Amino acid sequence: MVLFILERSGESAAGFSAGRKLGGAVRRNRARRLLREIARLHWDLVPDGHGIVLIARQGIFRNSFQDMEIEFSRLLDSAIGSGGRRLMQRG
């Protein structure tokens, strides 16, 4: 997965994307639902006044849900510490 984070005025918000390389509409929708659920469960980690965008990449279905949760937390911690640049999971 890829994580973008940026400061914004107002409430925090999230966006989710899955490209056509993942497969058909069913697979893309499933990937977005997985990302949406991870963000919902860990929304308290997102600082107030920030927006995040999660992008599903090839191989998202190879990882367990717990692994994706851990990776989301790691990416978010890294993004907050780096001032909000693009961060990508390797592997």
- What DSSP designation does 4 have? E
Render pLDDT for 49-75 as a digit per residue (tens, 0 to 9).
888 999 999 889 998 999 999 999 998
Task: Quote the domain boundaries for residue 33.
Answer: 2-88
Looking at the 3D structure of the chain, how many domains does it have?
Answer: 1
Three-state SS at 58: coil
Alpha-helical segments (H) within the chain: 25-41, 65-82
Cα(86)–Cα(51) distance, rounded to whole angstroms?
13
- pLDDT above 70 as % of the chain: 89
| pTM of full prediction above 0.85 | no
Q: What per-residue confidence (pLDDT) applies to 10?
A: 83
Domain harbouring 76, CATH code: 3.30.230.10
Torsion 57-20-64-45 (CA) sign: positive
